[in-house]
């Protein structure tokens, strides 16, 4: 079905707005400040059992046998499941790999890989039962580092795997025997040899970044029930209820219509709750025990068993002329993915240079399996890691040619109508405006504080739309309920409610957003990629316009005038002109209470594959001070400048900027997965995996740029991904300018910086 | 496993509970007394999501056993608002958008309450260091800290 709103959003820069652009209190906030909000782990059902997962102690091993008999005999144990309780699906297919990540079949692929699970009447009994399960392993050699994993003599994870896109002439990949390289992906434009020949300055370096964890404070938790008829209900914290349902249907071989997924409040996700872990296990336990089962992960399980972010190794080369014009760029990128493909690594070559208008680009990317937990999405998946190198090279080039950092980027900036390396032609974009705002801001113009270094960096994210299905109901009292099938990861319910209130001309308090279960609406794509507030804005403005049209029709019939004789303005239906007649204007509530003597309930629904997301651009400015005795980096001042298109709820937008930047600060300075030679993660807790705390960071200043996206009724662009993209590079540049030597490896932790400082002294 | 009988007061209400010897105060509150406002982020004392006030002292409920709370007076997030009336800290966090997902919020509020009881006029740096035991992955702390300082000012009547 065609949707007019996708072609004509009705956006107008002159529209007078009453609600959009203000900062009402989030409706879900009250429950969250009083402890009443229901997160998954708060859900309790009658007869509920506690589920616990047994995990592999080895990084790579064949499972020879599993004996659960002693566990089953323990009093209080109601069900035990292993690989035998899950349908067999061929390995090397998407669902075959997915079911093997949920519970190991032939082999375990990383320490922490689930092997069995129990459901018991108490947690202590469940824990005792796990100890009674006997698993016989044949331990295999393992490989953790992806560059090691690419070598011809590395232990191979999957004997059947042949590199997709292998190309003769590239010695890193081969097609005739097994390899740990899932795919080789080449993307480029123009002629880089010619471009580099034209360059007067060329800079090239190698960078590496470590996997970090999304770090949501709420560990995964779910409750599953199964009816005697074979229907399943699942409460869980998820960014993707519909995706979970359909994947559960595939790996458990059940109809989607028999699975109801109800999202609870979500205690942070950042991409990490787009894939399920314990949910299928809880369902199989519940089906076997015929009682509800709850599984809640410990923090250690979250670290060892759920997705971190890809670590990378990259080589990046850029050439430019003396006047600052970039003539060519080249990159070779290696991405960790864990035991199976799924890193979304092709985002990186597409996005890494996009914001600069480059005639000649060549990129070659590799996705590599190894014996670590499978990666999951995180804000702008796979992009910040490689922008770390791109923006370091950019900064060095600017310094070499003696050009201001922002001027150099402006010189090469993409403008409206630019075409990307992946062949998208941009409409209206705001990169130049973002750079101008950064250049003119007080922070950038101020002198660098004594003893500090300043760095800047930029970033881009596509922003997404996609399948979105929602409904809107007008109650007889004129208040409005909107039912959303997307998740609320940070407060999108209020922003979406605000757009509906603005359309309908009613106070935002008269709108309530509820999070649907999967039986209530059509398929909704995952809440990720900064798509939700954008897409829901389109869909619910569409619903709002539909109910306005419906109510205008009813007003016309109540007044016995033609439909064109009714206009809607400021929340009231009025005669369009005096010719229509004299009628007292009708409010939404006036019409809504007459459903009995008109055509019944007033509601609308809209299901569409939303298009028209406007790309997002940002620029970060940071001042740091490095203690040369200890190697400790202090973030002294930080400013985020980003184009939001239109900030629906400015405090929410600022919160996205600030939260993203601080996650980036953690990634830049501290966060990493550390593995021992035994292949085990050595820091699976918040004490040793150190995320930023309040005293580690300053206030994060924000500048919201607003270059409207005309494809959205209010001009909005997604804002959630970009804030983490430039961060590590900005900090690396600042550190480089502070200590006179550039770090090219993450995290830039005290021991690493001390080592660099020592090398510098050695040279001096 | 043999359970122990404890009595404790939570937000002014007296409770009897049977707890396993290894069971934490956090599990006692959440699973035995069904007061789920207090959250678990780590169970190892590193995130502060489980912050409660026990006999006037800020504690990680995950680091204390239920049996240790026998006879104690415990304050949790459920007791922070007085009926309809929110505590100034709750109000400030709402008004200044000091929460995104909200999972850290109960712990942050209890910790901030304990701070303002000791020091009604903390500096921004003091506030940042006091709340350094409360991880928040969403907000970047900016609006959280601002909310606490605004509430402190309001409570001082300044
Ligand atoms: S749950 Fe107690 S400190 Fe994290
Ligand atoms: S608001 Fe999500 S962790 Fe603090």
Residue B116 has pLDDT above 80, yes or no: yes
When pLDDT is cut at 50, 70 and 90, the band that residue A271 belongs to is very high
Looking at domain A4-37+465-610, does it have CATH number 3.30.365.10?
yes
Residue closest by Cα to atom 3 of ligand 1: B45
- Please list the residue range(s) of chain A that carry CATH number 3.30.365.10: 4-37+465-610, 383-463+614-763
Q: So what's the pLDDT on residue A760?
A: 87
How much is the average pLDDT of A751-756? Answer: 96
pLDDT at A203 over 90: yes
Residue A259 in tokens: 């699975």
Test A693 with B102 for CB contact under 8 angstroms.
Answer: no
Predicted local distance difference test score (pLDDT) of residue A3: 86
Burial of A677 (0-12, 13-18, 19+ CB in 10 A): exposed
What tens digit of pLDDT does each residue of A325-369 get?
999 999 999 999 999 999 999 999 999 999 999 999 999 999 999
Question: What are A208's two structure tokens?
Answer: 């590496």
Reported as a single tens digit per residue, the pLDDT across B58-101 is 999 999 999 999 999 999 999 999 988 999 999 999 999 999 99
pLDDT at A420: 97
Residue A396: half-sphere exposure toward Cβ, Cα within 13 Å: 24
Q: pLDDT of A467-492, one tens digit each?
A: 999 999 999 999 999 999 999 998 89
Nearest Cα residue to A604 out of A494, A486, A716, A500: A500
**Sorting pLDDT into bands at 50, 70 and 90, what band is A434?**
very high
pLDDT of residue A693 exceeding 80? yes
* A528 vs A550: CA distance, rounded Å: 33
Beta strand A61-67 pairing with A134-139: antiparallel
List, in order, residues 6 or more apart from A343 with CB less than 8 Å away.
Answer: A310, A335, A336, A337, A367, A375, A381, A382
Find the DSSP H helices in A648-696.
650-669
Give the alpha-carbon dihedral of A577, A582, A587, A593, to 10 degrees: -130
pLDDT in tens, A373-417: 999 999 999 999 999 999 999 999 999 999 999 999 999 999 999
Residue A536 pLDDT > 90, yes or no? yes
Q: Does residue A691 belong to the interface with chain B, where contact is any CB pair within 8 Å? A: yes
Cβ-Cβ contacts under 8 Å for B119 (sequence gap 6 or more): B126
pTM value surpassing 0.90: yes
Give contacts of A651 with chain B, Cβ < 8 Å.
96-97, 143
Q: What is the mean pLDDT of chain A?
A: 97
Give the closest-approach CA distance of B9 to chain A in angstroms.
Answer: 18
- Span from the CA of A155 to the centroid of ligand 2 (angstroms): 40
| Nearest CA, atom 4, ligand 2 | B136
Alpha carbon distance A198, B152 (integer Å): 62
A600, two tokens: 């019944």
How far, CA to CA in Å, does A603 sit from each of A543, A566, A567, A591, A592?
8, 19, 19, 13, 10
Domains of chain B: 4-79 (3.10.20.30), 88-156 (1.10.150.120)
- Indicate yes or no: CB of A299 within 8 angstroms of CB of B42: yes
Q: Can you give the pLDDT at residue A1?
A: 64
**Chain A 116-135, residues with CB within 8 Å of chain B CB atoms:** 122-124
Nearest-CA distance B22 → chain A (Å): 9
Cis peptide before A162 (omega within 30 of 0): no
pLDDT class of A664 with cuts at 50, 70, 90: very high
Q: How far is ligand 1, taken at its centre, from the CA of residue B48, in Å? A: 5
Assigned token pair, A750 = 């005290």
Q: For residue A763, what pLDDT is reported? A: 77
More confident residue, A674 or A175: A674
Give Cβ neighbours of residue A334 (< 8 Å, ≥ 6 apart): A146, A147, A150, A312, A313, A314, A365, A366, A368
**Rounded Cα distance, A279 and A224, in Å:** 7
Give the three-class secondary structure for A514.
strand
Ligand 1 atom, smallest distance to B47 CA: 4
Q: Residue B80 is nearest to which of A25, A34, A693, comparing CB atoms?
A: A34
User: CA separation (Å) from A322 to A194, A218, A657, A721, B33?
Assistant: 17, 51, 34, 33, 71
Determine the Cα–Cα distance for residues A297 and A281; give it in Å rounded to an integer: 12
Which residue pairs from A157-161 have beta carbons closer than 8 angstroms and sit at least 24 positions apart in sequence? A157/A60, A157/A109, A157/A339, A157/A369, A157/A370, A157/A371, A158/A91, A158/A92, A158/A369, A160/A91, A160/A92, A161/A92, A161/A369
Domain range A383-463+614-763, its CATH number among 3.40.50.300, 3.30.43.10, 3.20.80.10, 3.30.365.10: 3.30.365.10
The confidence band for A107, taking pLDDT boundaries of 50, 70 and 90, is: very high
Whether pLDDT at A277 is above 90? yes
Cα distances from B57 to residues B6, B60, B68, B72, B75, in angstroms, run 20, 10, 14, 11, 10
For residue A517, give the DSSP letter: B
Q: Which of the 8 DSSP states describes residue A23?
A: -
Instruction: Compute how many other C-beta atoms are within 10 angstroms of the C-beta atom of residue A125.
Output: 20
Q: A124 contacts in B (CB within 8 Å)? A: 1, 20, 22
CA of B143 from ligand 2 middle (Å) equals 11
What is the edge-to-edge ordering of all strands in the sheet holding A633-643?
A: A453-461, A616-626, A633-643, A700-705
How confident is residue A762, by pLDDT bands cut at 50, 70 and 90?
confident
- B138: nearest CB among A659, A661, A700: A659
- CA pair distance A37, A60, nearest whole angstrom: 41
pLDDT digits (tens, 9 = 90+) for A38-48: 999 999 999 99
Q: Is the dihedral of CA A732, A737, A739, A741 positive or negative?
A: positive
């Amino acid at each position: 079905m065609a949707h007019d709103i996708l072609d004509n959003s009705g956006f107008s820069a002159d529209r007078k707005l009453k609600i959009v652009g203000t900062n009402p209190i989030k409706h879900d906030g009250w429950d969250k400040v009083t402890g009443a909000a229901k997160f998954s782990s708060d859900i309790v059902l009658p007869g509920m059992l506690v589920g616990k997962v047994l995990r592999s102690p080895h990084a790579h091993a064949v499972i020879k046998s599993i004996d659960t008999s002693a566990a089953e005999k323990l009093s209080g144990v109601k069900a035990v499941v292993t690989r035998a309780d899950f349908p067999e699906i061929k390995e090397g297919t998407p669902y075959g790999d997915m079911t093997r990540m949920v519970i190991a079949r032939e082999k375990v692929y990383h320490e922490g890989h689930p092997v069995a699970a129990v459901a018991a009447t108490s947690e202590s009994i469940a824990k005792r039962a796990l100890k009674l399960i006997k698993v016989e392993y044949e331990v295999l050699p393992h490989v953790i580092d992806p560059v090691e994993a690419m070598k011809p003599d590395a232990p191979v994870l999957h004997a059947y795997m042949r590199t997709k896109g292998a190309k003769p002439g590239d010695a890193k990949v081969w097609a005739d025997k097994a390899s740990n390289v899932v795919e080789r992906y080449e993307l480029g434009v123009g002629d880089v040899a010619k471009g580099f020949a034209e360059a007067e300055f060329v800079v090239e370096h190698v960078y590496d970044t470590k996997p970090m964890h999304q770090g949501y404070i709420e560990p995964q938790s779910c409750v599953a029930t199964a009816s005697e008829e074979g229907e399943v209900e699942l409460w869980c914290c998820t960014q993707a209820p519909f995706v979970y349902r359909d994947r559960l249907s595939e790996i458990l071989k059940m109809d989607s219509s028999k699975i109801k997924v109800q999202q609870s409040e979500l205690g942070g996700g950042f991409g990490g709750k787009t894939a399920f872990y314990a949910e299928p296990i809880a369902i199989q336990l519940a089906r076997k025990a015929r009682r509800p089962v709850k599984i809640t992960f410990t923090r250690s399980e979250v670290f060892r068993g759920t997705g971190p972010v890809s670590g990378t190794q990259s080589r990046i080369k850029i050439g430019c002329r003396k006047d600052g014009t970039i003539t060519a760029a080249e990159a070779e990128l290696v991405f960790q993915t864990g035991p199976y493909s799924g890193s979304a690594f092709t985002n990186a070559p597409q996005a890494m240079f996009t914001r600069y208008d480059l005639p000649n680009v060549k990129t070659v990317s590799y996705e590599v399996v190894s014996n670590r937990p499978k990666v999951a999405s995180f804000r702008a998946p796979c992009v910040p890691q490689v922008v770390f190198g791109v923006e370091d090279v950019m900064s060095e080039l600017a310094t070499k040619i003696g050009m201001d950092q922002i001027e150099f980027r402006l010189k090469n900036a993409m403008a409206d109508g630019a075409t990307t390396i992946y062949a998208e032609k941009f409409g209206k974009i705001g990169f130049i405006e973002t750079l101008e705002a950064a250049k003119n801001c007080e922070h950038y113009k101020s002198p660098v504080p004594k003893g500090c270094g300043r760095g800047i960096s930029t970033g881009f994210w596509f922003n997404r739309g996609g399948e979105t299905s929602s409904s809107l109901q007008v109650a007889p009292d004129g208040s409005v309920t909107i039912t959303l099938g997307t998740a609320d990861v940070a407060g999108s319910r209020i922003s979406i409610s605000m757009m509906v209130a603005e359309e309908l001309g009613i106070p935002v308090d008269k709108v309530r957003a509820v999070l649907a279960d999967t039986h209530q609406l059509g398929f909704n794509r995952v809440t990720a990629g900064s798509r939700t507030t954008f897409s829901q804005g389109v869909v619910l403005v569409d619903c709002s316009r539909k109910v306005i049209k419906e109510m205008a029709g009813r007003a016309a019939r109540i007044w016995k005038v033609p439909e064109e004789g009714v206009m809607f303005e400021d929340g009231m239906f009025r005669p369009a002109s005096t010719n229509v007649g004299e009628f007292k204007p009708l409010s939404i509530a006036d019409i809504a209470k007459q459903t009995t003597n008109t055509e019944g309930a007033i509601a609308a629904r809209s299901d569409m594959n939303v298009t028209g997301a406007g790309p997002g651009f940002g620029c970060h400015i940071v001042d740091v001070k490095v203690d040369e005795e200890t190697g400790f980096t202090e973030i002294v001042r930080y400013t985020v400048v980003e184009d939001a298109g239109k900030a629906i709820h400015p405090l929410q937008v600022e919160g996205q900027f600030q939260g993203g930047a601080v996650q980036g600060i953690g990634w830049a300075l501290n966060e990493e997965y550390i593995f021992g030679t035994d292949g085990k993660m050595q820091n699976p807790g918040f004490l040793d995996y150190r995320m930023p705390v309040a005293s580690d960071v300053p206030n994060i200043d924000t500048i919201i740029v607003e270059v409207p996206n005309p494809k959205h009724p209010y001009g909005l662009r997604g804002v959630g991904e970009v804030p983490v993209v430039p961060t590590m590079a900005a900090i690396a540049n600042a550190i480089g300018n502070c200590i006179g030597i550039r770090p090219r490896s993450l995290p830039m932790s005290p021991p690493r910086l001390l080592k660099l400082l020592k090398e510098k002294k050695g040279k001096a | 496993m043999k359970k122990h009988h404890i009595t404790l007061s939570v937000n002014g209400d007296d409770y009897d509970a049977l707890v396993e010897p290894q069971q934490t105060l956090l599990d006692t509150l959440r699973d035995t007394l069904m007061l789920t406002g207090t959250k678990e982020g780590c169970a190892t004392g590193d995130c502060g999501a489980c912050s409660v006030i026990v006999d006037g002292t800020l504690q990680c409920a995950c680091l204390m056993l239920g049996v240790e709370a026998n006879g104690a007076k415990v304050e949790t997030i459920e007791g922070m608002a007085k009926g309809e009336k929110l505590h100034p800290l709750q109000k400030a966090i709402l008004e200044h958008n000091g929460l995104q997902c909200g999972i850290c919020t109960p712990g942050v509020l209890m910790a901030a309450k304990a701070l303002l009881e000791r020091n009604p006029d903390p500096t921004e740096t003091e506030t940042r260091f006091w709340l350094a035991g409360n991880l928040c992955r969403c907000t970047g702390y900016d609006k959280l800290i601002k909310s606490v300082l605004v509430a402190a000012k309001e409570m001082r009547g300044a």
